[in-house]
Amino acid sequence: MRSYNLFRLKDPSGLVCAVPEDYAVPSFVTGSRWVFDGKLDGSAHPLGFDRAAAATAVRFNGFYLFQCMDAGSA
């Protein structure tokens, strides 16, 4: 599985942007409304993260947006 950097929107929506480590971070994520929320590698992943959907989204967009269903952060 590929490794991702996770960025969380600073509001209660649970929106997370997963960006592969070897990809550039999208400009909208670098704004003050987003915060780095860790790395995703290995088999554990936040509830709401779909590996197949992430692979497709990254192929077309370079990132994957999903709503994290875990309590707290991604």
Residue of 73 and 29 predicted with greater confidence: 29
Q: Are 6 and 38 in contact (CB under 8 A)?
A: yes
Query: pLDDT tier at 46 (50, 70, 90 boundaries)?
Result: confident
Q: Give the tens place of pLDDT for each residue, 22-34.
A: 999 999 998 889 9
Q: Where are the domains of the chain?
A: 4-67
pTM score > 0.95 for this model?
no
Query: How many C-beta atoms lie closer than 10 Å to residue 38's C-beta?
Result: 13
Average pLDDT along the chain: 89
Give CA 57 to chain center in angstroms: 11
Taking residues 49-54, report their average pLDDT.
93
